[in-house]
Amino acid sequence: MNMAQALQELGVAGELLDDAEKRHLDKAGYLPLPDLLSADQVAALRAKVQALIADEADQAGLEFAQEPGTQRLSNLVEKDPLFEICFSHPRVLAAVGHVLNGDFKLSSLNGRAALPGEGLQALHADWPRGAEPGAFQVCNSIWLLVDFTEANGATRVVPGSHRSGQVPQETLADPRARHPEEILLTAKAGTVVVFNSHLWHGGTVNRTDAPRYALHSYFTRRQHAQQVDQAAFLSDATRSRLSPAQRFILDV
């Protein structure tokens, strides 16, 4: 199987992004896709995330990373068929393919819940160096399982920063400080925000009394190592339930 065959099998055919969406993704570096998940899907995914966090306790997230002030989950491909949508949805794959010139695979599928009073991240890019347009290496997507608001720590981004050829730690005196050009990605639960991972971004402080739940399906060009080695973690049972196209996206 090749990429064209995999994408066709997963429903990525025709023009799934219009010209305005492509321009916004190119220029600003991010693209909100409202209502990609139904209310029932949001509720089911959030309930599964909460159950996994409770079950895994202090081991949660260890397959990739833990983060103080958050509840992290990793390796979600292995943990429930509900999560398959995060690396199979045609609109998301079309947007990722637009950023990465049709050359990509899943790097990791994780959960992140910023806890009350926590969640602030330094502005960062998900690649150690800048990249010129046309040579981007990574692309991410945030699956909102609750409304993202100014109060609960919505992700901040600096529009256009992916085209700067720089990373924040080389440029900013204090990457944790507010950037004069940053905006918050506020949106309703069920929205998915696809963003070029060279875009400067970071979580903000959750000033509510409830966790802010989200999933992150993160993609890289196929020649790069994955954050979570899908072949190493995938059980035979999970492998057998996935379609050939899904296995191609996972590179297994």
pTM: 0.97
What average pLDDT does the structure give for the chain? 97
pLDDT of 5 > 90? The answer is yes
**Which whole-number Å values give the CA distances from 238 to 206, 228, 242, in the listed order?**
35, 15, 7
Per domain, the residue ranges of the chain are: 3-250
122, two tokens: 């330094």
Confidence (pLDDT) at 219: 98
Measured between alpha carbons, how far is 225 from 169 in angstroms, rounded to an integer?
23
Query: Is CATH 3.40.390.10 correct for 3-250?
Result: no
Of the listed ranges 53-57, 68-72, 131-135, 173-177, the one predicted with least confidence: 131-135
Please state the rounded mean pLDDT for residues 71-80. 97
8 A C-beta contact, residue 45 and residue 215: yes
Residue 14 pLDDT level (bands cut at 50, 70, 90): confident
